[in-house]
Structures are given as structure tokens and as C-alpha cells.
Structure 1
Amino acid sequence: MIAQKSHLANIDVWKQWREDRQLKAKQALIETYLPLVDYVSGRLSIGLPKNVSKEDLSSCGIMGLIDAIEKFDYERGLQFETYASWRIRGAMIDGLRQGDWVPRSVREKAKKIEDAYQKLEQQYLRSVTDSEISSYLDVSEQEFQQMVQEIAVTTVCSIDDPIREEDSETRLSLLIDEKAKSPESKVNEVYLKETLAKAIERLTEKERTVVSLFYYEELSLSEIAEVMNLSPSRISQLHSKAILRLKGSLSRHKSQLFYD
């Protein structure tokens, strides 16, 4: 992980850009935070198809960084690196989607597995095994593992994605000022956390470990593979299954998570 600096260290440069619109200041900010693009692209590129070049990913990421710099308000006291990382990641994913990087057949497989986790875990009220999922999908366990490997690239998401397919509201719209929360959003946030916590409890021990190391400790999948003494492909499978389980669980409660 790159060393994160507080944006306050560049307060004079931010002022020159935000208040005086000095292009030199903007360029200086881009150069300062450019390592964020390499960091995000490095994490996102793991498990992507070989036809996706890291250069293309970085190009999209740079556009996301520029967008973040143009829209960031340093006076709010927020951490720029966190805000920019979301923007960079979103720009990269949008670029990948525009390039039709995931075949329709792969997305259909991902949806089938997600639905299988949703229905079986709702039925059994526990974490279901690979053999139970395989049986439900009418495939062998080996075929199921291959399916999981193929859909690893679909388990990334953008904050510009809709929360629900039929809605226009995006994840980005939920990133609001903590001081400006409405009572409804506060209730939804609490319920979402409770639902997500219960969903995480249903993950297998290895899946929980991967999720924790990837999203909380911010290790790459290859680093997690070393920590857990497993192959990177196995870690990728565990990550994909964990995300599909969580998405399935949240889908069951989506009507309760967000008000219409």
C-alpha cells in the first residue's frame, strides 16, 4: 500500500487550484497523487483477463484522478486519498465496461451463482457448501470451481453503479456529509450494517479471512495468497464466492435496506 499523506500538507497548492484556478497547481496535485492510480490499478488488475492492459487501466484511472481533483473541496476536512481512490476505481471499472471486457455468458454465470447462494442460504439459514451449490446448478464441483474462476472479474463494482438495477440512485449518492444525514438514511445505514454483519458471519472461515485482509488490511490477492499459503487462483475463488454470497444476502433484504 502506498504511504498516504494528509491533503493538509498541500493546503497552499489546493488553495491555488480551488480559489485561483492555477493550472500549475492542478498539475502539481496530479503529480503528487499519481501514485494512487498505480496503487488502485495494481489491486484491480489482479484476476482480470490478459487482454486487459494495465496501461489502459491506468489511463482511465488518471481521468478519474483528474475528476477527483476538480471536484474535491479541501475545506470540508476530508481525506483526499480516500475520495480519489473511489473515483479512480470507478473510472477504471467504467472504462472496462465500455470496452465490453466481460462476455455476457460470464455475467450470466455470475448471476446464476448469486441467485443460487441467495435461495439456498435463505432456505437453509446457513452458509451452503460448494457441493450443495453444485448440485443446485446441476454441475460437478470441478465445473463449479471453474465457473467461479471465470467470474472473478465480475466481483468488482463501481460507486457509480445503481444500488438496485431498476433505480437510478448510485452508491456514490450515499457518500454524503456525515453531518447532513437524514433520519431515514441513518436508519438505513444501521440496518445495512446489521444485515452485512450477519451476511459476513455466514461466510466460511477462509472467505472471511480473505474479505478482511483484502478490504480492511488492503492486501493484494497475491499477498493474501502468501499469508494463507494458498495459490492466487484459490484466493481469487474465495474472494469471488464471498462477494457472491454477500450480494445474494443483501439482495434478499434490498427492499428493506432502501426506501422507495
Structure 2
Amino acid sequence: MLVQNAMEYAEVRSAATAGCVADEQAHLLAYAPLVKRIVYQLNSQVGGAIDREDMEQIGLMGLLEALRRYGTPDESFGGFASMRIRGAILDELRRQDWRPREVRQQSHKLRDSVRALTRRLGREPGEAEITQALGITAETYQAYQLDENAEQLASFDELVQEMEGRFADTPNPEDQLMLRRTLEQALMQLDEREQRVVQMYYEFELSYKEIAAVLDLTDARVCQLNKGALRKMKSFLKSA
């Protein structure tokens, strides 16, 4: 009798496991377009440093991790999954140290020059002031800004994960509500244009080029606005 019960238990457990796997596969298929959107968005920033198919595979692993951590998807799962997908891809980019050394060195040199100019002026200089003081073209400066952003790849997702770290591994609804309200307060620290950039990039997953077209700006200016917005939000969240 005991053996029979054990066999029945094993059959039930096997069926349940098979059901879980089938559910996971169904959810992976359902959210695969989200992975493709995020890969498209990031691929435009990193210049093909990782093959697009490889990025999608890494993103799918991030999606699978999100499913296993979150549980049954609901209306809030998309935002949660986006963070894990983008985070998995960015982690791999950082791990591979994908930017050529010459590009990094040039970026560091320009960054130091911009900081020196900022100290001399006592304020943040405009693009025209920077290009004139450093003797570079607007195109060179815009390329520097994109390289600088690609080096940092600071993201709103990382801010959210920092906040989530204050809670349990799986935040309960009250924790999630508190997190959402804190982030809303952080967004209120931004001006209207910065808020639009953050929303279009992180909520609607538009690329810098697409945001630039909407706002009639250069890709580099969008990059600068995004970086400035994240800096303000980080400062607010540290004091929250």
C-alpha cells in the first residue's frame, strides 16, 4: 500500500512538474516580443557589440528568471520582466568589457576636459561652449556623449532594483505600492522633458533615435537628458 501511494505521489508530482514546464514555455512565448523590443532598443546603443540573436537568448534567460521569481504573470509582470531582461543583457555587456580600449581612453579624456571646463565656469557648460573650448566638432562631441552613456549604461531598472533590495526577495503588494510611490516622487524631481525621455525609454522601450525624432533632438541630447534624469533620481532615492 505504501509503495502504491508512493507511486501515485510520484505520478502526481511528475504531472505537476510537466505542467509547470508547459506553463513556463507558454509564458516565455507570450512575452518573447518584450525581449525583442528590449534587444532592439539596446542594440542601437551598443553598436552590435553582441550578436542580436545572442542578446535575445540572454534576454530570454532574464525573462525565465523573472517568471520563476515573480510567479504567475499579471498586469504588473511586464514592468518587472523588463527590468530583469534588460539587466541580464547589460550584465553580459559589462562582463565582456565590450568597448575598445581606444574608445574608452578617448571618452575618459573628453570627460576630464568637460569636468575641468565645468569647474572653470562654475556651472554646466552648453554643447557649443564645450565644442569651442575643446576644439572639437559637434559630431565628435555627440559621439562622445553616446560612448559615455554606453560605458555607464546606467538604467532606471538599476534604480528600481536598488529600491527592491530594501524589501524581501519577493516584495508583497504593500512593498510594491511603497516602491511605486517612491519612484513617482523621484520622477517628480525631473523637468517635463526629462520625464518624457524617461517614460519613452523605460516604459515604451523606444530607442534614443526614436525619442530624438519625437522630441526633435539629437540622439546625443536625448542621451544627455536621460543621464541627467537618472542622476537626479538617484540623488533623491539615496535620501528617501
Is the shorter-chain TM-score for this pair beyond 0.5, marking a shared fold?
Answer: yes
SS of 1:258's equivalent in the other structure is helix
Q: Does 1:70 align with 2:61?
A: no
Q: 1:69-218 alignment to 2 at 5 Å?
A: 69-74=67-72, 78-103=75-100, 106=103, 109=107, 112=111, 116=115, 123-124=122-123, 128-134=125-131, 138-142=134-138, 143-154=140-151, 156-157=153-154, 161=158, 170-173=162-165, 176-177=171-172, 179-180=174-175, 192-194=186-188, 196-197=189-190, 200=191, 210-211=197-198, 213-215=200-202, 217-218=204-205
SS of 1:170's equivalent in the other structure is helix
| TM-score (norm. length: structure 2) | 0.66
Structure 2 counterpart of 1:39, one-letter code: R
% same residue: 23
Structure 2: gaps of 5 or more residues: 1-14
Q: CA deviation at 1:186?
A: 9.2
User: 1:176-199: per-residue Cα shift (whole Å, max 9, x none)?
Assistant: 54523799x7996576344x32xx
User: 1:45-92: per-residue Cα shift (whole Å, max 9, x none)?
Assistant: 1132234211111111011011011111338x5522221111111111
Tell me if the contact between 1:93 and 1:158 (Cα under 8 Å) persists in the aligned partners.
Answer: no
Tell me if the contact between 2:35 and 2:60 (Cα under 8 Å) persists in the aligned partners.
Answer: yes
Inter-partner Cα distance in structure 2 for 1:247 and 1:112 = 18
Structure 2 counterpart of 1:192, one-letter code: A
Structure 1: gaps of 5 or more residues: 1-18, 164-168
SS of 1:47's equivalent in the other structure is helix
Structure 2 counterpart of 1:66, one-letter code: L
Structure 2 counterpart of 1:132, one-letter code: E
Max Rg structure: 2
